[in-house]
């Protein structure tokens, strides 16, 4: 019977026994997800605890791929990636969802005919950056097929971090901090839309001036600075992963004016978008030589 104790035991086992984690696979967001596929705006980890599960996934090359996750097998899905499980044999799975404010976890058991009641838990993060570097490190290995041991160690570290959050929970944030985190998560999910300080303030039923004060107090930065930061981080990902024109990258990340996008990008990175892409690709080629 699945319960919270089972969840904690699973986290503890794979956090302490890296060798129990088998292959680590990755998913992407291309081609477009098929019907009944799962796709969300934040990173996820799908792990098989008992049995095995076939997974149809997308990848950065735009090719449908299928993996078979056996016991201890992991599928890591960056934000916007999709997967479609094939429920044709008994299996118990663990899903970890990395939201900006919390980690969500769910256990699911399929006996071959029906699902057991899902066990769902969540735990607050100690700020959006805590744990982010582990996730970023995992994603750096998307194109490195021969580094399974390092991938296992990183997955184990992530599970250990979540277990630590459960055992030593953070204090409930103040109302102003909770609002700040909610606004920040909204920007992370809607960065590609024509957001303004005024439109976001209206969405959260506060004044534009209060929103500015909130960012200065809680984030120690201006609203537009953070919005540009979110958009630029997404732009870096698109520049590296896809052969898009700079103008298209700018528009997909919420910049109406590609010239303004290039100025902001250079101010933040000391390189133009094209230079950033060329330097990354050159480094990747040297790393594989």
List the chain pLDDT tens, one digit each, 289 residues.
678 899 999 999 999 999 999 999 999 988 988 988 999 888 999 999 999 999 999 987 778 899 999 999 999 999 989 999 999 999 999 999 998 788 999 999 999 889 887 788 989 888 666 788 899 899 888 877 778 999 999 999 999 999 999 998 877 668 888 899 899 989 988 999 999 999 999 999 999 999 999 999 988 889 999 999 999 999 998 998 888 899 999 999 999 999 999 999 999 899 999 999 888 777 665 554 4
Rounded to 5 degrees, φ, ψ at 182 are -65, -40
The domain 175-288: what is its CATH number? 1.10.10.60
- Predicted TM-score (pTM) of the model is 0.63
Q: What is the CA radius of gyration of the chain?
A: 20
Contacts by 198-204 with C-beta closer than 8 Å and gap 24+?
204/179
**Hey, where are the domains in the chain?**
4-167, 175-288
Contact predicate 158/134, CB 8 Å: yes
Cβ-Cβ contacts under 8 Å for 73 (sequence gap 6 or more): 21, 22, 23, 24, 25, 47, 48, 52, 53, 67
Contact predicate 97/105, CB 8 Å: yes
What is the tally of helices (H) and strands (E) in the chain?
10, 10
């Amino acid at each position: 019977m699945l319960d919270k104790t089972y969840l904690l035991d699973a986290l503890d086992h794979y956090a302490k026994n890296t060798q129990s984690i088998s292959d680590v696979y990755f998913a992407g967001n291309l081609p477009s997800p098929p019907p009944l596929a799962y796709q969300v705006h934040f990173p996820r980890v799908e792990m098989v605890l008992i049995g095995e599960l076939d997974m149809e996934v997308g990848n950065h090359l735009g090719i449908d791929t299928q993996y078979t996750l056996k016991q201890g097998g992991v599928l890591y899905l960056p934000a916007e990636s999709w997967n479609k499980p094939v429920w044709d044999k008994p299996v118990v799975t663990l899903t970890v969802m990395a939201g900006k404010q919390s980690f969500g976890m769910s256990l699911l058991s399929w006996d071959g005919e029906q699902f057991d009641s899902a066990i769902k838990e969540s735990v607050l993060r100690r700020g959006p950056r805590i744990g982010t570097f582990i996730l970023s490190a995992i994603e750096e290995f998307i194109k490195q097929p021969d580094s399974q041991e390092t991938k296992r160690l990183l997955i184990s570290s992530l599970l250990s971090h979540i277990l630590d959050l459960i055992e030593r929970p953070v204090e409930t944030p103040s109302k102003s901090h909770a609002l700040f985190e909610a606004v920040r998560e909204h920007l992370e999910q809607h960065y590609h839309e024509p957001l303004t300080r005024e439109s976001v303030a209206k969405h959260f039923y506060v004044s534009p001036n209060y929103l500015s004060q909130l960012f200065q107090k809680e984030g120690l930065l201006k609203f537009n600075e953070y919005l540009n930061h979110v958009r630029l981080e997404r732009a870096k990902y698109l520049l590296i992963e896809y052969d898009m024109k700079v103008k298209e990258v700018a528009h997909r990340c919420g910049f109406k004016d590609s010239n303004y996008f290039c100025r902001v990008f250079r101010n933040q990175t000391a390189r133009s978008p094209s230079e950033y892409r060329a330097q990354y690709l050159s480094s990747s080629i040297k790393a594989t030589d």
